[in-house]
Every structure is written in C-alpha cells, then in structure tokens.
Chain A
Amino acid sequence: MTAAGMLEGRVALVTGGSRGLGRAVVRTLAREGAAVAFNYLKGEAEAEATLAELRGAGSQAWAFQASVLDRAALAAMVSAVEREAGTIDILVNNAGIGQVVPLALMEEEDWDRMMDTHVKGAFLATQAVLRGMVKVKRGRILNVSSLAGVKMMAAPVHYATAKAALKGFTEALAKEIGRYGITVNCIAPGVLEEGVSDHLPRERRDDYLRHCALRRMGTVAEVAEVAAFLVSDRNSFMNGATVVLDGGV
C-alpha cells in the first residue's frame, strides 16, 4: 500500500477547515484518498478556494458554512455528507479561536467564547457523527489540542484551559466508546507558523524558539501529516493518547 492511499474509501469531517491547520488537514486527508467535508464560520472565500482546489485534484469534497455550536446545522451537515458518501469514519475536531488577554482583563464573554468554540464545539460535532460510527462500529476521532493544554507555558489562561479540556475529553471519550472500535486521540502542536499563533505577541514566539530544540516553529503541513496517520487504519492501537508535536520543548 502506498502512502497516497492511506485513507482510501474513508469519509472525513474536519471542523474549522477553511484555513490554517484545518485547511492543511483537509488537504492532507484528501490527498490520502478520503472524501472530505469541512465547515467554516467566516472564511467563505478561503473555503471556496479550498473546495475548488480539492475538487480540482479529483477529490470528493464539501464545504458548509455552519457553526460548531449550532447543533441543527451540524446534524444537517452530517446528514448531507452521509447521504452523499456514507457514514463519516473520521472526525477532526479542529475548530478553534485564539485570543491573547490576561486573566485580569478577561471578560466572562471571552471565557465563554473560548470554552464554547473549543470544548462545546468538539462535543457537539462528536455527538453528531457518533451515531453513524457506533452503528458501523468503526471510527477515528482526532481532537486538536495544543502544547499549551499539556505543558505549563506562557499562554492565555482560557485558551490553555480549553485545550487542556480537550485532552480530558479525548481520554474519557476513548474509554467510553472504544468498545465500538472507535479510537479517540489528541494532537498537541507547539507554536506553528500560521493559525492561532498569528495572535501570539512576538516576544512569546521568540521565547518559544529559545526553548525549542529544533529552534523553529512548526508548519501546519507537518502537523497535518501526523494527523492523517493518526486517523488512518495504520494507527489501529493508539487510543486516548495525546501526541505532542513541538519540535522538542
């Protein structure tokens, strides 16, 4: 089997897939043979471009403008994908936001938005695809956390909290649904060249580079490669794990 066919015949849903890490994951999964759907909230033009790119490369792909906090929209999206391509085998809970604000100035709304987008969004998207996975007793769920969720580092408290929550979400869910042949894992990237790290102040990036053994930031493509492996059948015995990709911090 060649690397290009790693996800042949699989159907994937990536939340927040129009840009940054999400888009890289979408591209990589499609390249590996999966039919890929993704949602986006604001980046309509980027979503259209991504979709065109995928379809142009011969992939089955769909894009939906929907919030991960809209249960009905998620249900409709899953239903539409399953009608077109069959049961969703792969879910990548990637949707997220970044915001740099000290706790002293953090508004309750800031906190809620951060927690909702990362944690509640993952919960709702997972619940939406889980019915099908349980039915076919097969599935791969990958939650995108962050180094900030697994290690003490300079990061906004609400962001680190939300990302840490995803690690707990991963472990409990892995335990709960492993009996159905569904694995749940987590990936925790360090600082990347694009994505939420766009919000990081320069001094924090520099601080990261000082502590990183590779002396560089990662790329979304590097993370996406690992993500594609993690949701593939080649990765059949990892469950409840958090894989850290940080260049060695």
Chain B
Amino acid sequence: MECTTCGPPGERPDRPHTFFSHEKTTCRQCGAEVLGRVVLRDGAVFRLSFCKDHGQSEEPVAPDADAWVKAFLARGRVPEGAAAGTAPHVFKQTTSTCPKCLALVDADVVIRDGRVYFHKTCAACGPSQALVSEDAAHYVGAYAFARAGTEPHAFQAEVKEGCPTDCGTCSDHEQHTCLPIIEVTDHCNLECPICIVNNQYSRHLHREALGLMLDRLIAAEGKCESVALSGGEPTSHPQILDLIDEASRPEIGRVVIITNGIRLGKDRAFAEALKARGAYVALQLDGFTADAHEKIRGRDLCKEKAAALAILKELEIPTQLIFVATRGANEAQLGQAVELLLSEDHIISLNFQPAAYTGLGGGSYAHDPLDRLTIPGVIRAVAEQSNGKLRGADFYPLPCSHPLCTSLTYLLRLDDGSFVPFARFVDFTRYTTLLRSSATLASSAEIHEAMEDVIHDVFANQDEIPRGPEILRALRRSIDVMFPPRPLDVKEAVRLGERQAKSIFIHHYMDKDDFDLERLRKCCHHYPQVDGRIMPACGFNMFHRGAAQGADTPLPSWGKKPWNADPHAGTPYLLEGGSLPPEDGKTRLRILG
C-alpha cells in the first residue's frame, strides 16, 4: 500500500511484499539461528532471513496467503468459555528484550485471561513477564490489517548485522519515514518523571545542521507531510524560530513544534511568531488536575497549560494534543481531552500515548509491567468517558505502521458542528486508505478516490446509517473544500482537510518490558540524526539513546548515541562552543529567548 502521508501515489515504490510477522529461523547454509521476516507476496507466504555470514535468503512458507493468514488469526482465538483462569495459550513467538539487561531475548506471546503477555527468559537475568495488550481479540485481530509498506528513495544504512543493530534505516526496514521527529535540543524546562528522552543540557542543533538533515530527509522521502521539531523542549532552543524558517520548505507540509507549552503561555510574542510562520503546535497535555501533572510531569502545570491553550485558541494556531495516558495518574481524564478536541476548532487531533517506561524519567518510573495501560485499555476508557460520542468499535489499527503500534479514528465534522466517527459509516476493513498516519485527511488522489467510494456507500445506505443525510452533506462539503479544481502544493494539500475532520490516535511506544522487534521492523516514526541516520523511534529509544532504564543505561556495543558522529568535518552541527555549559537545577527551568 502506498503511504499517502507524504505525497501522491507513485512517488515512492511499494515494498514488494506485505511484512506480516517476525520469527526466528536458521540460515540454510550454516545453520546459525537468524531472525526472519514472514511476508505475503503474490498470494503466497515467504520467510526472508538474513545471516551476517551468508547474506539474504528466502524460503516459501505456504502457497496460499489467505489461508495462511486465516490459520494464523485462528491460532489467536481462545474459546470464550476459557477466558478466565485457563491455561496460558501460546499464540506466537517474537523477539523482545530482557527488562534487566536489555539483551534481545525470545518471547512467547501468551494469551491469558483475555489479555496478552510476553513470557521471556534471559540466560543471564532469568524469566520475566510483561503485559502487552489488555485485549487479546484486539491484539490478534490487528494482524488482519497488515499492509505493504513503502520504500524511501534512499536507505541510510547497510544491512550488515541484522535488526536492530544496523539502524537506520536499512533496506530490511519495512516502512519509510511517515513522521520525522527532529530533536533540536537536549535542554528542557521540565524534569518529567515520565520523560521518554535523555536530556543532557548540552546541545542545541545548529540551523545549518538542521538544513543538512532536512536535505537528506527530502532526498530520501521526496516530500513530507509533517516534520516535528522536538527535544528536550524545542522552545528552549535560542534560535527555534530560525529552525522553523529552515524547516518551512515547499516539500514539507507542516512544521510541528512538540512542546510542553510553558513558553507559549508566557511569551505572547513567541506565540505570534509561530503563528506568523504557519507552524503547528503539538501540545503535551496529559491531564487537567494538579495531581496528574505532578505524577508524570513533576509539578502542577494547570496554569501553564491553561495559558498555552488560551493563546493557541486566541491566535488560532493549529494544534495537536499529546496525552500520555498513565495508569494511576490520568486515565480518568481521557474523556476531558476528547471533549477539548471536539469543542475547539483549532485543535485538529488528539494523540493518546499509553505510557512507555523508557527514557531518563520513564525508564525508572515506578510501575507494574503486568498492569499498565495499552491501546485497548485507552480505547475502552475513551469509550466510557466520552458520553457515547465514541465507541470501542470506532477505532481501527493503523495499517501503514505495524498494526499493533497505533489505533485511530477520524471524526467527520457535520454542518451543525457535531462529529461522527468515520467508522459509523465507513467499513475500514475495505477502505484502509483512509487509515493513515496523519493528523488529518490530506487532499491526495488516493484519499479522493477513497472518499468517493465512501460517499457512494453512504449514499446507497443512507436510510440505515444514523444521520446518513447529514453525513452525506458533510462529505459533500469536505470534497468541495479539499479538492478544488486547481493544483495544490504540499502545504495546501494538508491544510485543506484540517477543518473537515479530526483524528484521535492511540500510539503505544515500546519500552524494555513490551519491546517487540517485529513492531520495530515497520516503525514509521523516525528520529533523523545529524550523521545522516534516520532512526526508527523505539529502536533508538531502546538501544541507542542510552536511557531505556533511566539515567546511565548501558549502551550495547553497537549502540549509536545521538549526535555522536560528524561525517562532515567542519560543519557546525551544534551551536557555538559545541555544547553549552551545563545548567544547574534552577537555570534548567529558565525560559530561553
């Protein structure tokens, strides 16, 4: 399936197969144990494997892909009567990590009491278990959404040792970069207990370095619907506005600043400067009470968040909300976030992220790996807290990433200002094109065709679909707005759909407990690096950032720390002085600029 995120169909080639699952196998030449990718191609099933001594090989698995997938899904169906208290049912195997030493270990994917767990044994550290899904039916059913990925124009790494050592991305990676996240600073004005990165207060990215990174990214991708500038806290970067200018290129649809919002709420001129540049804001908003903020952000941020929301609303800066859903901290406030999304025109999407316990804060955040929020838990909570506006059935797995990484729903705005989830009138099992890794529906040819199909379906069944005629009117309005009779540039193509539909994503980043190499294979959220690597997010967080277990996490021998290589000697990758003097605890909270 051609990813529609960054350009019209045909610009980048599809992968020649649909990556389906991951399994261990043996090299046919030397018998060494190697990792294999099970793929669907031309109606059959194959296993692709890589041996570092003998290279790539392929072997047939089954002649009938449909029958094989059906049998695969059937293995995950546990009889309802056996839901509670029955013996664990091993659905499949994968490769995870030992939560103690981070070594890659085999994992049984076990269904027990309607949930899914990894059962792992590390030769050095012993056995461990982790909850990976609160709903086995969701977990197993997601595999039915597997779709072929898309290849970038260029890969940044060779396949030498295998996944995840070669990151990234190498030609064995199964998806291009849907969302590049560029960490422009490792400074921050918060010390979040749930922090997923590894702020060292040492570096700000130089504009020229960002320019080179974007050059490479565009060479690899052609066009990008969004580029996110992150950190650290990107608004701490003393030249953040210059960086936004640098990223504001014709090939890039949106420049998104991922921020905690503190500076926005205090610095009106800065907010106006963002508005003037057409930047988007992804606002970290994890709750609405002091207690919730204190638990996962370290202090009460109610006033700061309110101030940020106020200025974003006043200036009508297009905003995405990011809500880290954490057991015991804020899971009762998900419905409020949905209400906020639906009530404010400038808020275009809401991204729930079930907490990933990795990074300087999150890596040591106290939690029970057997009792945590996962995607089905978030869906259930959203359904319970949204006063009937959303149901569990409104959410579907995102096919372009690994379908276990993200679930989402789009909400169509009706003419009276209310919203209807697309799933109420679209059969997403047929129209997977509409399930895409994007905050909004873009004005692409592929989306146009899918919407025409949907319109005909609703037209034919409008008597059976609740609010069918209203939905038809809204779809008519949407296609009028989104597909004007003139050529659209990248920016306009992403902007036009923003007021027609909103989205709710649930994206579960991985950590040392629930890491799944199979999911990493198809990761589409990538961290571009100054040395040219484009690192799949969870692989980077787990093996290369050096904070999967909090501070001082040992790096594997093949780990590649961020910004640790400078292939272009003389290029000022970092701001003058290479690194800024470390700030003490107080100055860390200083707002720069």
Q: List residues of A whose CB falls within 8 A of some B CB.
A: 130-135, 176-177, 179-180
Contact = CB atoms under 8 A, between A and B. Distances in A.
B456 A132 contact: no
Interface stretch (B7-15, B345-353, B459-467): B459-467
B462 A131 contact: yes
B489 interface: no
Nearest to B456: A134
Contacts of A133: 460
A158 B54 CA distance: 75
A134 B457 contact: yes
B460 A132 contact: yes
Given A131-B462, A135-B461, 15 more contacts: A130-B459, A130-B460, A131-B459, A131-B460, A132-B460, A133-B460, A134-B456, A134-B457, A134-B459, A134-B460, A135-B460, A176-B452, A177-B456, A179-B453, A180-B456
Contacts of A131: 459-460, 462
A177 B461 CA distance: 15
15 contacts: A130-B459, A130-B460, A131-B459, A131-B462, A132-B460, A133-B460, A134-B456, A134-B457, A134-B459, A134-B460, A135-B460, A135-B461, A176-B452, A179-B453, A180-B456
Tell me the dominant secondary structure on chain A's binding face: helix
Interface residues of B, number: 8
B89 to A, nearest CB: 39
Contacts of A132: 460
A124 B16 CA distance: 45
Nearest to B462: A131
B120 to A, nearest CB: 47
Interface string B423-466: 00000000000000000000000000000110011011110000
Contacts of B461: 135
B431 to A, nearest CB: 12
Majority-rule SS of B interface residues: helix
Nearest to A135: B460
A133 B452 CA distance: 16
A66 B145 CA distance: 48
Contacts of B462: 131
Nearest to B461: A135
B347 to A, nearest CB: 35
B3 to A, nearest CB: 22
Interface of B: 452-453, 456-457, 459-462
Contacts of B452: 176
A131 to B, nearest CB: 5
Contacts of A134: 456-457, 459-460
A135 B460 CA distance: 6
A179 B452 CA distance: 11
Nearest to A182: B456
A133 B460 CA distance: 8
A180 B456 CA distance: 9
A134 B455 CA distance: 11
Contacts of A130: 459-460
Nearest to B460: A134
A188 B391 CA distance: 53
A46 B529 CA distance: 81
Contacts of A135: 460-461
A189 to B, nearest CB: 31
Q: Which 8 residue pairs across A and B have the least CB separation, nearest first?
A: A134-B460, A135-B460, A131-B460, A134-B456, A131-B459, A135-B461, A134-B459, A180-B456
B368 to A, nearest CB: 50
A176 B452 CA distance: 9
- Indicate the member of A133, A135, A176 with the most B CB atoms within 10 Å: A135
Contacts of B457: 134
Nearest to A131: B460
B60 to A, nearest CB: 33
A135 B453 CA distance: 12
Contacts of A177: 456
A113 B456 CA distance: 29
Contacts of B459: 130-131, 134
Nearest to A180: B456
A176 to B, nearest CB: 7
A79 to B, nearest CB: 11
A130 B460 CA distance: 7
A97 to B, nearest CB: 29
A130 B452 CA distance: 14
Contacts of B456: 134, 177, 180
A233 B252 CA distance: 50
A175 to B, nearest CB: 11
A170 to B, nearest CB: 18
A179 B430 CA distance: 13
A144 to B, nearest CB: 24
Contacts of A180: 456
A133 B461 CA distance: 11
B485 to A, nearest CB: 15
A54 to B, nearest CB: 29
A155 B461 CA distance: 42
Nearest to B464: A135
**Interface hub of B452, B460, B462 (most chain A Cβ within 10 A):** B460
Nearest to A177: B456
A133 B459 CA distance: 11
Contacts of A179: 453
B246 to A, nearest CB: 44
A180 to B, nearest CB: 7
A174 to B, nearest CB: 14
A130 B457 CA distance: 11
Which residue of B453, B456, B461 has the most chain A CB atoms within 10 A of its CB atom? Answer: B456
A35 B460 CA distance: 22
A134 B460 CA distance: 6
Contacts of A176: 452
A215 B461 CA distance: 51
Nearest to B463: A131
A200 to B, nearest CB: 39
A87 to B, nearest CB: 10
B121 to A, nearest CB: 52
A110 B461 CA distance: 38
A62 B452 CA distance: 33
A128 to B, nearest CB: 11
A82 to B, nearest CB: 12
A51 to B, nearest CB: 29
A229 B172 CA distance: 54
A130 B461 CA distance: 11
B453 to A, nearest CB: 7
A135 to B, nearest CB: 4
Contacts of B453: 179
B447 to A, nearest CB: 16
B183 to A, nearest CB: 44
A132 B461 CA distance: 9
Which one of A132, A133, A134, A180 has the highest number of Cβ atoms from chain B below 10 Å of its Cβ? A134
A132 B460 CA distance: 6
A62 to B, nearest CB: 22
Nearest to B457: A134
A180 B459 CA distance: 13
A99 B456 CA distance: 36
A45 to B, nearest CB: 36
A179 B460 CA distance: 14
